[in-house]
């Protein structure tokens, strides 16, 4: 994976130049937001399921999001977010991000509702998925994190190794490799019920999720994700209505990239 230094330098120049306090996390992993700043990204996930005796099932969803920084302090920051998944209604609202990016808070029915941020990627470095950011980064260093909750592309109690591929202090850029595995169903509402086609007829099957493996590169500039790619595979078993089972395999390809603001008009 190659990203030109000129492009990274231009992206870094668009970010705030807030000084990170001594002893804090590495600047390349620390968002340096200032009110009025804007960001955008585009994203997609391709998912396929193959099972012995059935036609392959494949689908994709994708979209884009625009972010405007409303407020920022060392403990939290507040964003106005507009997003659209193609084929679905557009979303628009404010979010307060706390706990170094681990938690998102929304206003619902006049009260603030906070929940862990479990998407596979996003605007910024998320310690819930990546582990607490180290104070210094060096090429070749690594750390291991246990991802306790089930998340978008992994089951509960997953174990992940993060390796620093390269660091560029001039642009505040780091390239990370994440690789891990988990057991069972993923988070964000994954259910065991699936629809597959066999002999020209659609059937309902029940899936038993096995071991998932993932691996991918992520480029981060001053805490903001510039590019992210993750390949996830999982070995499963499907069972039809008569109780007959068949081995199955799933694959997800997740892509997220920074984009010029705005992506939505």
Question: What is the pLDDT at residue 2?
Answer: 47
Percent of the chain with pLDDT over 90: 87
For the full predicted model, state whether its pTM sits above 0.85: yes
Provide mean pLDDT across the span 15-37.
72
Residue 108 has what pLDDT? Answer: 85
Q: What distance in Å separates the CA atoms of residue 42 and residue 223, rounded to the nearest whole number?
A: 17
Mean pLDDT on 252-258: 98
pLDDT single digits (tens) 171-230: 999 999 999 999 999 999 999 999 999 999 999 999 999 999 999 999 999 999 999 999
Confidence check: pLDDT of 22 > 50: no
Q: State the CB neighbour count (10 A cutoff) for residue 184.
A: 17
List CB contacts of 95: < 8 A, sequence separation 6 or more.
78, 79, 81, 104, 105, 106
């Amino acid at each position: 994976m190659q990203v030109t230094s000129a492009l990274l330098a231009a992206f870094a120049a668009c970010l705030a130049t807030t000084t990170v306090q001594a002893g804090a996390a590495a600047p390349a992993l620390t968002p340096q937001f200032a009110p009025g700043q804007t960001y955008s990204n585009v994203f997609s996930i391709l998912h396929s399921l193959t099972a012995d005796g059935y036609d392959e099932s494949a689908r994709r969803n994708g979209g884009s999001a625009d972010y405007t920084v409303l407020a920022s302090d060392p403990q939290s920051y507040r964003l106005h977010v507009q997003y659209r998944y193609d084929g679905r209604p557009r979303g628009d609202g404010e979010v307060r991000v706390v706990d170094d990016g681990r938690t998102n808070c929304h206003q619902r029915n006049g009260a603030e509702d906070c929940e862990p941020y479990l998407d596979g990627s996003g605007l910024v470095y998320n310690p819930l998925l990546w582990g607490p950011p180290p104070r210094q980064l060096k090429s070749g260093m690594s750390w291991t994190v246990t991802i306790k909750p089930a998340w978008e592309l992994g089951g509960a109690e997953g174990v992940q190794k993060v390796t620093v591929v390269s660091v560029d202090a001039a642009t505040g850029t780091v390239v990370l490799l994440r690789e891990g595995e988990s057991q069972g169903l993923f988070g964000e509402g994954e259910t065991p019920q699936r629809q597959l086609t066999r002999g020209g007829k659609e059937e309902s099957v029940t899936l038993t999720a096995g071991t998932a493996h993932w691996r991918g590169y992520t480029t981060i500039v001053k805490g903001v994700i510039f590019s992210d790619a993750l390949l996830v595979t999982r070995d499963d078993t499907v069972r039809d209505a008569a109780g007959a089972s068949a081995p199955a395999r799933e694959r997800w390809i997740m892509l997220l990239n920074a984009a010029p603001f705005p992506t939505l008009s």
